[in-house]
Structure 1
């Protein structure tokens, strides 16, 4: 025959277990009521349309740091950096511009 513990000890143990369960339930209920802070909207534009977003004014700058004042629309309608555009135009005129003019003159002379 198995020796049993006195009933009073068992009752006390069950009562303490119930009390701790109630306390933890209350704590979890209170914790779940906390409202999370709203995440602030980023001022940095990322992705394929980043420059367009900055140029339009919906974002402050691109991930590389270009602001609306640094951007310009190209002849083809693409939004590009002012500096890069100027550099490209300069390089074209300096390196390949003469060849283009010569080709145009040759085509005109040949009647093409």
Structure 2
């Protein structure tokens, strides 16, 4: 009877150890799942940040194109004004020369 009680006690101890290992494994799996969920959330957040940065870069590039076009038009307008001013100076000089004759 002592032997069977000792065996029963060993079996209970073994079952308790197995329950402890199962609980530890369950907690490790839960922690792993939580870490995976956090990593997934961080990846999604980084993807959104990259998309926002990409959109911002596209808007900046578009604005640069618009500004370059406006600069080109302004340069052309300045050139026209410069040409008109030169023509007016020539006309003025011609008129002044004709008036003095």
Same fold (TM over 0.5): no
**Structure with more helix by fraction:** 2
TM-score by length of 2: 0.39
Quick check: which has more Rg, 1 or 2?
Answer: 2
TM-score by length of 1: 0.36
